[in-house]
Amino acid sequence: MKNETNIKTEQKIKYHKSSGYKQSVNLFKEANKAVFTDKLTLINTGRLTANKVVLMITLNITPQPSDVEVLESDHNHNLHVYPNGILQVTFEDFLLSPGNGINFTYRINTGKTDMPKEKIIKNIYLFFCY
């Protein structure tokens, strides 16, 4: 498995070698504001059961915490929006066995109507703790 891959939206993605994910990205205008929606399926492709998963998303924008909204999550999580454009989502207190995944959908009010969806995310980092 490669450490980097290009997805449909041509965003360069980095991920831990024992993990993977699928991504579906949308950008639409809502009341003259651009709203970015990202649906991720985080998959444990390792051989061990994970008891904690950390998702780090680096952005090319710096949203306010009120601009970020979780739309769906299969598991309890903590979301932290850092002022430098990093989103950290931590899933704890559960067991994610090999081959199973987490569905997570979020949206961001980008505040920019002319920014293409391919330019919003810099990288996605995914860590499984065993």
Stronger pLDDT, 91 or 12, i.e. the higher one:
91
Residues sharing a CB contact under 8 Å with residue 65, sequence separation 6 or more, in sequence order: 81
Q: Name the phi and psi angles at 52, rounded to 5.
A: -155, 135
In the predicted structure, residue 15 carries a pLDDT above the cut 50: no
Phi-psi region of 85 (alpha: psi -120 to 50; beta: other; left: phi over 0): left
Bridge partner residues of 101 (DSSP):
43
Domain positions in the chain are 4-129
What is the band of 56 on the pLDDT scale with cuts at 50, 70, 90? very high
Q: Which of 7-21, 30-44, 53-67 has the lowest mean pLDDT?
A: 7-21
Whole-model pTM: value is 0.75
Stronger pLDDT, 90 or 7, i.e. the higher one:
90
CA atoms within 13 A on the CB side of 76: 5
The domain over range 4-129 is classified in CATH as 2.60.40.1170: yes
